[in-house]
């Protein structure tokens, strides 16, 4: 991705962004893209609706990703993201903004007054996950709000071109809200000469969520949640939507049998000490989600337990619906904890260019594995490969990894095994009774007590076969 050196010479503002009556709530892909067979759009452009038949529900027996039909709603959408739709503007700056709140705000206001060229724009937020998931072959919807201005139109074009459907959450308009409250959220990604990143959007300077004017879920949004197999939510959703609205979406998903994946991200720490409503919504998401994704630091903040395996087991025991807890260990790899096993996978060796979007790409692969009922260690291997492939590029959005790059990394099977690290981590959690699976380059499978090494070449063969079958099935359907 191209970067722009900061220039404050031009004053500029996008045109107002109030929702317009003639704007479609549901945007379909360009001609030639095949919709799921039971998805039908009815009504005029101003009131496009999703009509679906069938009801899906996750199997509670541990066979995650199993979808059953019943009660009239057919689940033909693989994953929908909730909120957090934004445009990233990536700029090179001499130094990151000052720490002082007043100085920081003034700096960012000057920044927002300078119109960056479109080549420095990129789809951000949950668009990263949706694009990565779509490139893995999943059918994706995004639920959220974008304004009727240049940034919003840019974002919709990107989603359109990536075969991702958009459902607008633009009802329940507050006539007292300012015009700016309806504009597309823009996140300024600042990069200093040392490649340190700073992030800022208008949500960072507001006490209320950016779209606090939303008071309820539109019927189109509810129907999409009912129709999808997975609803993905992350901590940044709280920057846009009220806790009550997030809880409404969570309740809708639970009653529809839609699985929930939640990644609290860096916002998780603040939410732990946030308002009563934020704490309540966070607690519900941690207990009611089918899959939780956290870094080792984040899972320690949530549980107070330093060992990531034990912390993951604690979240499993607290959860009502929790089936998987995934802990990201950065350059070391990742761990997946369920109720019977602990699976570990070291990272792939790559030349890292930019880590922005790696976590979103990783999460998309976790969703793929969950939906396809893949073994835990296979899912981690795929997720590590997708995240690593994205790290070899510059930026997120349309720059997240394509499937061919992911498969290339898998075929190379060049994992960064650190036996001392994994042995110590597993030894420190040895009081648990779960079987521990570790992806390894060892030539043969082997085990000692509860510790089992899985040969990576065997996992790669299974993954390549899986994607060959998925690709062939998609070609037949199209």
Residue 34: CATH number of its domain? 3.40.1190.30
Q: Say if residue 262 is in the same domain as residue 297.
A: no
State how beta strands 228-234 and 259-263 pair: parallel
Residue that finishes a domain, picked among 199, 233, 268: 268
The helix (H) or strand (E) run that includes residue 262 is strand 259-263
Q: Is residue 412 domain-resident?
A: yes
Angle separating helix axes 456-477 and 403-412, nearest 10 degrees:
160
Q: 150 and 35 in one domain?
A: yes
> Which pLDDT belongs to residue 444?
46
Confidence (pLDDT) at 35 = 40
Structure tokens at 168: 């607008």
Do both 170 and 234 map to the same domain? Answer: yes
Which is nearest to 172 in space by CA: 126, 201, 208, 211? 211
CA distances, 378 to each of 15, 64, 70, 317, 354 (Å): 48, 14, 30, 24, 25
Amino acid 92: pLDDT: 79
The whole-number pLDDT of residue 119 equals 86
CATH number at residue 345: 3.40.1190.20
H or E stretch covering 188:
strand 185-191
Q: What is the pLDDT of residue 198?
A: 77
In a domain, 378, yes or no: yes
- 130 lies in the same domain as 36: yes
* CA 56/CA 54 separation, integer angstroms: 7
**Domain match, 253 and 348 both:** no
46 in any annotated domain? yes
Q: Do both 301 and 354 map to the same domain?
A: yes
With respect to residue 321, please indicate whether it lies within any of the assigned structural domains: yes
Q: Is residue 285 part of a domain?
A: no
3-state secondary structure at position 201: coil
Domain identity same for 200 and 325: no
Residues in the chain: 478
Domain presence at residue 126: yes
Any domain includes 349? yes
Task: Give CA–CA dist 283/255, Å, rounded.
Answer: 18
In the predicted model, residues of the chain with pLDDT beneath 50 are 1-25, 28-66, 68-70, 444-447, 474-478
**Residue 282 is assigned to a structural domain of this protein:** no
| Total count of domains within the chain | 2
| Pair 299, 261 in one domain | no
Please check whether residues 21 and 159 belong to one and the same domain.
yes
- Do 112 and 232 sit in the same domain of this protein? yes
The rounded distance, in Å, linking the Cα atoms of 263 and 233 is: 7
Question: If DSSP codes are grouped into helix, strand and coil, which group holds residue 382?
Answer: helix
Give the 3-state secondary structure of residue 178.
coil
Same domain, 218 and 319: no
Structural domain containing residue 413: 290-478
* pLDDT at position 452: 85
pTM of the model: 0.82
pLDDT at 31: 41
Residues 95 and 154 in one domain: yes
């Amino acid at each position: 991705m191209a970067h722009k050196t900061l220039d404050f010479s031009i004053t500029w503002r996008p045109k107002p962004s109030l929702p317009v009556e003639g704007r479609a709530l549901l945007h379909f892909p360009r001609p030639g893209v095949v919709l799921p067979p039971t998805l039908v759009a009815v009504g005029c452009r101003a009131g496009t609706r999703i009509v679906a038949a069938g009801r899906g529900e996750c199997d509670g027996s541990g066979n995650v990703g199993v979808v059953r039909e019943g009660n009239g709603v057919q689940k033909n959408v693989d994953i929908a993201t909730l909120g957090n739709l934004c445009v990233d503007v990536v700029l090179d700056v001499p130094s990151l903004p000052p720490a002082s709140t007043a100085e920081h705000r003034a700096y960012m206001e000057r920044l927002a007054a300078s119109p960056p060229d479109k080549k420095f724009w990129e789809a951000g937020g949950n668009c990263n996950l949706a694009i990565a998931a779509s490139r893995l072959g999943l059918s994706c919807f995004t639920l959220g709000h974008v304004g009727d201005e240049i940034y919003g139109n840019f974002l919709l074009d990107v989603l359109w071109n990536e075969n991702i459907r958009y459902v607008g959450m633009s009802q329940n308009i507050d006539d007292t809200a300012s015009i700016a409250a309806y504009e597309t959220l823009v996140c300024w990604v600042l990069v200093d000469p040392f490649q340190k990143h700073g992030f800022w959007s208008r949500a960072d300077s507001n006490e209320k969520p950016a779209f606090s004017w939303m008071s309820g879920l539109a019927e189109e949004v509810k129907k999409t949640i009912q129709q999808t197999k997975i609803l993905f939510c992350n901590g940044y959703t709280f920057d846009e939507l009220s806790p009550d609205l997030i809880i409404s979406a969570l309740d809708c998903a639970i009653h529809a049998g839609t699985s929930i994946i939640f990644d609290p991200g860096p916002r998780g720490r603040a939410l732990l000490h946030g308002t009563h409503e934020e704490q309540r919504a966070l607690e519900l998401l941690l207990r009611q989600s089918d899959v939780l994704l956290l870094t080792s630091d984040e899972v320690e903040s949530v549980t107070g337990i330093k060992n990531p395996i034990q912390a993951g087991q604690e979240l499993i025991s607290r959860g009502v619906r929790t089936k998987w807890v995934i802990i990201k260990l950065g350059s070391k790899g990742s761990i997946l904890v369920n109720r019977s096993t602990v699976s570990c996978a070291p990272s792939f060796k790559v030349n890292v260019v930019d880590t922005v979007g790696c976590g979103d790409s990783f999460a998309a692969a976790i969703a793929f594995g969950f939906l396809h009922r893949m073994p835990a260690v296979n899912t981690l291997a795929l997720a590590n490969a997708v995240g690593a492939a994205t790290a070899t590029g510059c930026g997120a959005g349309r720059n997240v990894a394509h499937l061919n790059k992911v498969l290339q990394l898998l075929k190379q099977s060049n994992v960064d095994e650190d036996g001392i690290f994994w042995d110590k981590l597993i030894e420190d959690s040895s009081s648990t009774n779960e079987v521990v699976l570790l992806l390894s380059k060892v030539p043969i499978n082997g085990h000692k007590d509860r510790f089992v090494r899985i040969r990576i070449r065997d996992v790669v063969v299974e993954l390549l076969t899986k994607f060959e079958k998925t690709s062939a099935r998609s070609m037949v359907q199209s």
